[in-house]
Amino acid sequence: MIMIQIFGTLKNFDVKTAQRWFAERRIPVQFVDLKEKEMSRGEFDSVLDAITRETGNRQEAIEQMIDKKSKDYASIAYLDDSKKEDKIFENQLKLMKQPVCRNGKMLATVGLSQKTWEGWK
């Protein structure tokens, strides 16, 4: 039995879409509201590592995690790549794309990724 964690905010449309997608398939989820409790460093690193395994490149994974539509995007857009990771971690609510869906420590997605979720068994 898989247990999915969804990190995001209740007002985010993509988060609601992800919750509905899993609910329709009767897959249990644990929702973590980033307004109440942000990811720990370990959770954040686990998600970043999982995305890095998918992309094969850590910098590309970091870019995938950034919400480029955020009004705070300018604060990170021109930073050195080595500083972006910490900036996203420190400002998860403002800079990180939602939802972040995690299936254990090895699998994770950022944003809507129904095709990837289909393979989570």
The reported pLDDT for the residue numbered 3 is 83
Give the integer Cα–Cα distance in Å for 82 and 11.
31
pLDDT tens digits, one per residue of 20-35: 999 999 999 999 999 9
Structure tokens at 120: 């989570």
Nearest to 105 by CA among 55, 59, 39: 39
Angle (CA) 12 35 19, round 5°:
40
Is 5 in a helix, a strand, or coil?
Answer: strand
% of the chain surpassing 90 pLDDT: 91
What is this structure's pTM? Answer: 0.93
Q: What is the DSSP string of 24-42?
A: HTT--EEEEETTT-PPPHH
Q: Would you say residue 1 has pLDDT above 70?
A: no
At 64, is the pLDDT very low, low, confident or very high (cuts 50, 70, 90)?
very high
